[in-house]
Structure 1
Amino acid sequence: MRTGIRVIGLLVALAPAVGVSQPVPVHEWEVPWKNARPRDPIADRQGRVWFVGQAGNFVARLDPATGQFHRFAIDADAFPHTVNLDARGNAWFTGNRNGSVYRIDAASGKITRFAVPDSSVRDPHTIAVAPNGDLWFTAQFGNAVTRLNAATGQMRVVKMPEANWRPYGIAMDSKGRPWFDLFGTNRIGTIDPATMQLKTFPLPSDRARPRRIAVTTDDMVWYVDYVRGYIGRLDPRSGAVKEWQNPGGAASLPYAMTVDDQDRLWFVETGLKPNRLVGFDPKAEKFFGMTNIGGGDQPNTVRHMTFDKATGVIWFGTDLGTIGRAAVGSRNKPIS
């Protein structure tokens, strides 16, 4: 049994020992298009699951009830990274190779392209939807975070003040502020939507490299440290940070991350074969629900996950070519 480390500001204290529990139910569908890197699935109100084929250059939709897939034709140079859904059910995805964001109209299926006005923001990455309908997205190598007004199509680009900060994962808080990992350094960032001013919070370890992020209902900001193998919590009010070492330790390479309807955090240890889904209960400060996902000893990575409140399941994609769900929530419907 491994005992983690909890970091409070610059003070270090022992965290509770890792807990053990039963795995959660998981089901995976094989995507019919090979070598596509299906990723970043998200469920719409009809229960259909949207995802992108980053390497295959497509956007697609899975009907879990029938197992049927539908593929959307997109620009040949897009190579989408992430898809998300707005309140009207429109699907928005990033063109990771052509400096664009696209909208698929929920009613007509029409695809509209929005080009980023700054040519240096060449790689739109992960996209999040604000409560007011604005879209926010990161650009890792473009070293920027951009806001897109969905009504007008206008964009505001915020460049990072230092090279190679590499904005990566992004999530919204209850006040409509975006929070994002700066994967090239040991910082978490946010932008004030009213002033567009950037603020960053340093993490205690210089070696920290936060990759994915989640926000709980109390507006605490959670991240996974890909390099050191920790899950951490940032209090935006005080800047205080607490960290717990993952069950898989320093070699766990935590990547995909989300939060469920009980404010429990879930992440995937991608340094393990097979990858392992891990839950973390902030109240008990214990890990639970450890579940292997993906196939055996084959190289695999789960890069991003979303939680569907309507069904109580996490949706994830794998480099092995599957879309999967894990039943973790408090309102689970029967799963076949």
Structure 2
Amino acid sequence: MRKNRFLFNKHVVAMATLGALAAPLPVLSNEPGVLVEQLCASCHSLNNLERSAGYSQADWQTLTSYMIDTGEGTALSKDISTYLAKHYPVNTKRESTVVKGDLKLSFKYWQVPTLGQRARDPVQGENGLIWWVGQWGNILGRLNPKTGEMKEYTLPSGTYAHSVSLDKNQTPWFLGNKNGTVGYLDLTTEKFKVYKMPDKNARDPHTGVFDNAGIFWFTLQHSNMVGKLDPKSGDIKLATLPTKGSRPYGIKLDSNGTPWVSCNGSNCLVRVDKNTMELSEIKLPGAKTHTRRLAITPDDMVFYVNSGMGKLGRYNPKNGKITQWDNPSGANSHPYAIEYADNAIWFNESAKRPETLVRFDLKTQTMQSWQIPSKEGVYSGLIRHMRMGNNGLIIHQTATNQLAEITWSQ
């Protein structure tokens, strides 16, 4: 490799500026193996390379271009991708199982401007605009899908938002996962309004949803709490889950406006009384069961991903019955995101490569699945949240820093 090559990694620069790096990056090595370790380990574990599906030189070059800017067609880009292709070739260690069916999917992609930001949790408003957060880049982003125009806002220092939700006025609210805050962007002044948690133990607001009364409900995963904020008064109330280490993660509302919470650290779902905030825990079968997220159908059936056992589950609040179905790719598929759309439950198998999107037909109780490509056809991952937009599912891939809209047809 030639000396004195310039590498521009926006995420590493941002991390260094914010003091997120344990130590300054050393001078970049001229030896490909050391260079790959320096660059990859600055943003994620090197185990990600070992656990990847492996790629050809061309696909590694494309995939790394989503993470760091080495310059299109440069010798540096070629050297890195050649090394990766040699040491991490295509493999089937985490191969997914695809179930064929009649539906066809279409994908529309957008690459976010700042690389390495870990773009996630996009949500589309009624006005068509899509908002997302770049968790590692401390970014709130906006996309106009009609024009492709994007704008990124730097969040208050130390926020590192985990998710974004929209209120009835289409205002984006973020959840400060690292500084115990929730807040919103004033669309007129383009300034942030921030609310600090009233309890120092409420450290990590995670995922949120607005009810019809305008109350913002949210989870705090490692704090083991559920919270609600009244934007009119700024009043925040918190409730601690009954089981220690439950790690409340996803949150959705049923047709009555009752919040339901999934437990990422325990085999439970939690129903929240919207008036008193009293918590009712529903124990799910299986000691290894834990649930990243949940979805609720129009008839108030509570579906959840059993991330610990590779199953799709359904809890019937009317009679307490619990039913589970095996995922196509098995017990170690780690289903993650989930959404109801078009008389079906959609979820992903996040531990598989290529990652799959699964559709569970509510009428026939059968599944169909597809491997999920990236913008240029590279199969990577992973989806951590999905929500129905105006025309289809709105998803993200944290590995590629891409947003996408998925539509379907016969």
The residue number in structure 2 matching 1:281 is 361
Q: Secondary structure at the match of 1:251?
A: coil
Q: Which amino acid aligns with 2:226?
A: V
1:329 positional shift: 8.4
CA contact (8 A) 1:23 1:291 kept: no
Deviates more, 1:288-297 or 1:268-277: 288-297
State the 1:278 CA deviation. 1.1
Question: Does the 8 Å CA contact 1:209/1:227 hold for their aligned counterparts?
Answer: yes
Partner of 1:318: 397
After TM superposition, the score normalised by the length of structure 1 is: 0.88
User: What is the alpha-carbon distance in structure 1 between the residues aligned to residue 169 and residue 379 of structure 2?
Assistant: 41
Indicate if the aligned counterparts of 1:88 and 1:106 stay in contact, CA closer than 8 A.
no
**RMSD, aligned CA:** 1.7
The answer to whether the 8 A contact 2:254-2:300 is kept is yes
The one-letter amino acid of 1:314's match is L
Q: Partner amino acid for 1:258? A: E
1:80 has 2:161 as partner:
yes
Match in the other structure for 2:179 = 98
Distance in 2 (CA, whole Å) between partners of 1:119 and 1:329 is: 49
Counterpart position of 2:382: 301
Identity, % of aligned pairs? 34
Distance in 2 between residues matched to 1:293 and 1:181, nearest whole Å: 28
1:139 and 2:204 correspond: no
What corresponds to 2:139 in structure 1?
Answer: 58
Q: Counting helix residues as a fraction of each chain, which structure ranks higher?
A: 2
> Are the counterparts in 1 of residues 355 and 379 from structure 2 also a CA contact under 8 Å?
no
**For residue 52 of structure 2, what is the aligned residue in structure 1?**
none
CA contact (8 A) 1:314 1:328 kept: no
* Structure 1 residue 159: Cα displacement: 0.6
Contact 1:78 1:96 in 2 (8 A): yes
Measured after TM superposition, the shift of residue 28 of structure 1 is 1.6
Structure with the bigger percentage of strand: 1
Q: Residue 137 of structure 2 aligns to a residue in which SS?
A: coil
What CA deviation, in whole Å up to 9, does each residue of 1:254-287 have, x standing for no partner?
1111111x33111111111121111111111011
Q: 2:195 maps to which residue?
A: 114
Task: Say which SS state the counterpart of residue 331 (structure 2) adopts.
Answer: helix
2:285 alignment counterpart: 204
Instruction: Name the residue aligned to 2:337.
Output: 256
The 5-angstrom pairing of residues 171-190 of structure 1 reads 171-190=252-271
Larger RCO (alpha carbons 8 Å, 6+ apart): 1
Deviation readout 1:66-95 (Å, 9 max, x if unpaired): 222101121111000110101111111100
**1:115-130 mapped onto 2 (5 Å cutoff):** 115-130=196-211
Tell me if structure 1 keeps the 8 A contact 2:354–2:371.
no
Cα shift readout 1:80-131 (whole Å, capped 9, x = no counterpart): 0110101111111100000000112244433100111011110100111112
| Matching residue of 1:44 | 125
Distance 1:283 1:215 in 2: 15
Rounded to whole Å, the distance in 2 between the matches of 1:296 and 1:254 is 21
User: Aligned residues, how many?
Assistant: 309
Deviations 1:274-321 (A, max 9, x none): 2111111111101125342336454x211001101x32x111111121
Q: Which runs of 5+ in 1 are unaligned?
A: 1-17, 331-336
Task: Give the number of the structure whose alpha-carbon radius of gyration is greater.
Answer: 2
